[in-house]
Amino acid sequence: MKVSEIMNKPIVIEKNISVKEAARTMSDKNIGSLIIISNDKILGIITEDDILKNIDNLTEKISKVMSKKVVTIDKDNDIEDAAKLMAANKIKRLPVLKNNELVGIITATDIIAHSEDIDEDFFFE
């Protein structure tokens, strides 16, 4: 199964909003991360963990607390590839690209929900 078949629509924000505004957006949308974009380029990602680590500084700009090293995956990769990439990088979310442009996001929860579609040999490598 391809990443594009189970990816979700990403929610993007600008780098100059506060941690509090990011937290409110995540809560309103019932999501665990936001992707920070500028001029169609991914600058970073902020997750619920980042929010919790900065709970005492909610007025800080997200550009100061976001993860700047963003691991991505192509939409045509298999979900097994996504699972391996997440495990290797110890992350739970992968922005999905098509021709180097953001088109989606896939999470560990998405992969688990489709684990019946993963080749059984994957679990025994």
Report pLDDT digits (tens) over 24-46.
999 999 999 999 998 888 999 99
Domain boundaries, the chain: 3-124
Instruction: Indicate the pLDDT class of residue 123, thresholds 50, 70 and 90.
Output: very low
Closest CA to 42 of 34, 32, 50: 34
The percent of residues in the chain predicted with pLDDT above 90, rounded, is 79
Q: Give the Cβ contact number of residue 33 at 10 Å.
A: 23
Token couple for 17: 């909003």
| CATH number for the domain whose boundaries are 3-124 | 3.10.580.10
Residue 124 clears pLDDT 80, i.e. is over it: no
> Quick one: average pLDDT of 97-114?
93
* Total-model pTM: 0.87
Please state whether beta strands 12-13 and 33-38 pair in parallel, antiparallel, or not at all (unpaired).
parallel
Element of type H or E holding 25: helix 19-29
Give the Cα separation of 87 and 5 in Å (integer).
20
**CA 56 centroid distance within chain:** 24
Residue 6 clears pLDDT 60, i.e. is over it: yes
